[in-house]
Amino acid sequence: MSRVVKLAVIPGDGIGPEVIAEAEKVLDAVTADSDVRFEKTRFSLGAGRFLETGDTLTDDDLAAITAQDAILLGAVGGTPGDPRLKDANIERGLLLKLRFTLDHYVNLRPSKLFVGAPGPLANPGEIDFVVVREGTEGPYVGNGGAIRVGTPQEVANETSVNTAFGVERVVRHAFQLAARRRQKLTLVHKTNVLVHAGAIWKRVVDEVATEHPEVAVDYLHVDAATIFLVTDPARFDVIVTDNLFGDILTDLAGAVTGGIGLAASGNINPDGTFPSMFEPVHGSAPDIAGQQKADPTAAILSIALLLDHLGFPAEAARVSDAVEADIAGRTGARSTAEIGSAITARL
């Protein structure tokens, strides 16, 4: 009995289409002889679409995407400073709109230093942790405004919104993940300054911790966490944190584990009410677009996260193993397609 998975594919802008082509190559190959079939629907979204039609994400797009089982996204965003995009906010209007509307409250970002991966640290040690970043609250809610804009009396505010409902569900997810891994969870926040937001995170973590006596709980201020990410990243197993701190920490984590060319992510709705979305952490990098210079590994590792999420752990492991083997054997420069084909060949 074969299972059909409806997959929305959003290649997006810049290097997005190139890396997604390789990710699809891997997905097709790894599922070729299996009992799952991916039925793909392509969506043309991003800065390119905006420039053509003026649309960022229409209600029709959203309805069609919501009807899928999962989403694979490349990267969205035009050339920085392009005057025609001045009034577009592709990030808020497309990427964040999908994350919020599809209730992607777990933004899952694994950080692993693969053998052979280049990295900036002299003595990185073993790096293998996962950041569970909250995806639907915090300073990302768009609860801001400004008065007297452009005058010397301007005041511009941004409000971080944190709810017990929202914090508890992501913290619970993080504890469950830690329980299945090395049983260590680190909350990262800034409780000494952001006292109200910090207090709710701290309290919820302390409460959920009582249900997981097997998990050792640690706390770090976000500033201190960045220090440990470069001096002792081996100390981390699962990090749970808010939307903004998670954004910052995962880019840094990507850098210390060999660059964001390798960093995959899942925007997950664990309840299954909405399709989850898988994407490389990197952006659209318009400066190298169309030149076959981008590393598709992050997009390919996003396929592993997608397969794992959909309940195909064996296929997911085959993808990660192929990536791991490919990285270990890297020597000279290869094109985007060469890397994709090499990984496909190792499946």
Ligand X SMILES: CC(C)[C@H](C(=O)O)[C@@H](O)C(=O)O
Q: Which residues bind its own copies (CB under 8 A)?
A: 89, 91-92, 96, 119-123, 139-140, 142, 144-146, 148-165, 168, 190, 192-197, 199-200, 203, 222-224, 226-227, 229-231, 244, 247-248, 250-252, 254-256, 259-260
What tokens appear for 332 in the block?
A: 């000279």
- For the bound state, the minimum distance from the C-beta of residue 251 to its own copies, rounded and expressed in Å, comes to 4
Q: Give, in order, the Cα–Cα distances in Å from 268 to each of 75, 145, 172.
A: 17, 29, 14
261 and 295 Cβ atoms separated by less than 8 Å: yes
Query: Would you call 140 a catalytic residue per the annotation?
Result: yes
Distance separating the N- and C-terminal Cα atoms of the chain: 23
Q: Are strands 106-112 and 138-147 parallel, antiparallel or unpaired?
A: unpaired
CA 36 – CA 32 distance, rounded (Å)? 8
- For the bound state, the minimum distance from the C-beta of residue 346 to ligand X, rounded and expressed in Å, comes to 28
Shorter beta-carbon distance to its own copies: residue 28 or 223: 223
Shorter beta-carbon distance to its own copies: residue 21 or 244: 244
- For the bound state, the minimum distance from the C-beta of residue 190 to ligand X, rounded and expressed in Å, comes to 7
146 and 157 Cβ atoms separated by less than 8 Å: yes
Query: Would you call 184 a catalytic residue per the annotation?
Result: no
Annotated active-site residue in 61, 190, 242, 308: 190
The yes or no reply on residue 158 touching ligand X (CB under 6 A) is no
The yes or no reply on residue 91 touching ligand X (CB under 6 A) is yes
Residue partners of 99: CB distance under 8 A and separation at least 6: 107, 135, 136, 267, 277
The yes or no reply on residue 95 touching ligand X (CB under 6 A) is yes
153 labelled binding-site residue: no
104 and 269 Cβ atoms separated by less than 8 Å: yes
Query: Would you call 321 a catalytic residue per the annotation?
Result: no
Query: Would you call 247 a catalytic residue per the annotation?
Result: yes
Q: Give, in order, the Cα–Cα distances in Å from 328 to each of 10, 45, 64, 302.
A: 30, 35, 40, 19
Shorter beta-carbon distance to ligand X: residue 127 or 281: 281
Q: Are strands 184-189 and 216-221 parallel, antiparallel or unpaired?
A: parallel
CA 266 – CA 108 distance, rounded (Å)? 5
181 labelled binding-site residue: no
If contact means CB under 5 to 8 A according to the sort of partner, which of its own copies, ligand X, none does residue 94 touch? none
The yes or no reply on residue 94 touching ligand X (CB under 6 A) is no
The stretch near ligand X (CB under 6 A) out of 59-67, 79-87, 90-98, 295-303 is: 90-98
Shorter beta-carbon distance to its own copies: residue 231 or 291: 231
Which residue in the set 39, 158, 223, 338 belongs to the binding site for ligand X (CB under 6 A)?
A: 223
Shorter beta-carbon distance to its own copies: residue 119 or 270: 119
251 labelled binding-site residue: yes
Query: Would you call 25 a catalytic residue per the annotation?
Result: no
176 labelled binding-site residue: no
Using alpha carbons, select from 94, 73, 86 the residue that is nearest to residue 14.
73
Give me the residues paired with residue 280 across strands.
Answer: 264
223 labelled binding-site residue: yes
70 and 5 Cβ atoms separated by less than 8 Å: yes
CA 284 – CA 278 distance, rounded (Å)? 15
Residue whose entry in the numeric block shows the structure tokens 């006596």: 213
The yes or no reply on residue 188 touching ligand X (CB under 6 A) is no
Cα Rg of the chain, angstroms = 20
Shorter beta-carbon distance to ligand X: residue 91 or 211: 91
330 labelled binding-site residue: no
Binding site feature residues for NAD(+)? 283-295
Binding site feature residues? 99, 109, 133, 223, 247, 251, 283-295
What are the residues binding ligand X (CB under 6 A)? 91, 95-96, 192-193, 223, 247, 281
Binding site feature residues for Mg(2+)? 223, 247, 251
Residues taking part in catalysis: 140, 190, 223, 247, 251
